[in-house]
Amino acid sequence: MNIPLSRPSINQDDIDAVLAVLQTPTLSIGPKVRAFEAAVAAYTGVAHAVAVNSGTSGLHICLAASGIGAGDEVITSPFSFVASANCAIYQGATPVFADIEPDTLNIDPCEIEKKITDRTRAIVPVDVFGQPANIERISEIARKHDLVVVQDACEAIGAERNGQRVGSNGTGVQAAVFAFYPNKQMTTGEGGIVVTDDVDYATALRSFANQGRDDAGTWMNHVRLGYNYRLDEMSAALGLSQIARLDEMLEKRCQVAGWYAERLDGIDGVTVPYVAPETTRMSWFVYVIRLDERIDRTRLMADLETAGIPSRPYFVPIHLQPYYRECFGYQEGDFPITERIAQTTLAIPFFSDMSVEQVEYVCEQVQQQIRI
Catalytic residues: 184
Closest residue to ligand PLP using C-beta atoms: 55
Rounded least distance, CB 81 to ligand PLP, Å: 4
Positions touching ligand PLP (CB under 6 A) are: 54-56, 80-81, 83-84, 126, 152, 154-155, 179, 181, 192
Of 99 and 155, nearer to ligand PLP (C-beta) is 155
Of 54 and 91, nearer to ligand PLP (C-beta) is 54
Rounded least distance, CB 219 to ligand PLP, Å: 27
Of 295 and 341, nearer to ligand PLP (C-beta) is 341
Of 246 and 300, nearer to ligand PLP (C-beta) is 246
CA pair distance 49, 236, nearest whole angstrom: 13
Rounded least distance, CB 356 to ligand PLP, Å: 27
Rounded least distance, CB 286 to ligand PLP, Å: 9
Rounded least distance, CB 260 to ligand PLP, Å: 20
Residue 147 dihedral angles phi and psi, to the nearest 5°: -115, 155
Of 151 and 358, nearer to ligand PLP (C-beta) is 151
